[in-house]
Structure 1
């Protein structure tokens, strides 16, 4: 049992596990901000434009309330979070590639023998395979 607990402690204290935990916590906080943005700002603005409060959009079927307005707001929440994450990842990838220089193509070190079609050194004057003199 002690070995199991030591292995678990070693796993939990690895850097990437801690990074993932921090990412999840920050993501949850960001989702709360986006939810507040949608519920408190965007929903009322959209409601002004279409003259409907989305939280009031409810269908009652056999005494059961289906709050499809809340579902519409959840979809808008998802789209905003997905868009922000997309732009953030795109920005991070672009920023990471700015510091890198494009890889220069190396000069060829081999060539093909015109007679036997084998690969030989570019400096060769005679093919080691077919012994032909090279131009």
Structure 2
């Protein structure tokens, strides 16, 4: 049971996935810090500044639309980086691998090999009969 688990964990895909999750989490925190530190203040400045910039209140309930825009920008930046740095290169690599496999000549099937062997044996027998008789019968 432990050997099976070790084989599962050591399989390349699982290790790669674990690394991707850790790097993705770290990158998301960097993007979130960037949007919180730079974009949210910019949104608040361009929406008029002041105490309620980037937010509005109805009956004392504050709706912070700048936080939503910030989260949306965080998502878009993270998705773009994941696409361009992970998905696109992996898709390109997979296409190259498929092309390399498709370029290789197809191996003959078992039936094709047996047919070729049969034809070669017939040719040998025919050549043997014409020169010195049938080698199978000794004539």
Question: Normalising TM by the smaller chain, what interval?
Answer: 0.5 to 0.7
C-alpha spacing 1:21/1:58, structure 2 compared with 1 (3 Å): farther
Identify, as 1 or 2, the structure richer in strand: 1
Identify, as 1 or 2, the structure richer in helix: 2
Q: What residue ranges of structure 1 are gaps of 5+ in the alignment?
A: 104-135
CA contact (8 A) 1:57 1:68 kept: yes
The answer to whether residue 26 in structure 2 is matched with residue 29 in structure 1 is: yes
Matches of 1:46 and 1:25 in 2, distance apart?
30
Q: Counterpart of 1:57?
A: 55
Given the two structures, how large is their TM-score scaled by the length of structure 1? 0.52
Picking from 32, 36, 40, the partner of 2:37 is: 40
Q: What residue ranges of structure 2 are gaps of 5+ in the alignment?
A: 101-139
Paired residues in the alignment total 98
* Per-residue deviation, 1:72: 2.3
Q: Which has the larger radius of gyration?
A: 2
CA contact (8 A) 2:44 2:53 kept: no
Matches of 1:16 and 1:49 in 2, distance apart?
46
Greater relative contact order (Cα 8 A, min sep 6): structure 1 or 2?
A: 2
CA contact (8 A) 1:58 1:69 kept: no
* Per-residue deviation, 1:86: 2.9
CA-based RMSD of the aligned residues comes to: 3.6
Matches of 1:9 and 1:90 in 2, distance apart?
27
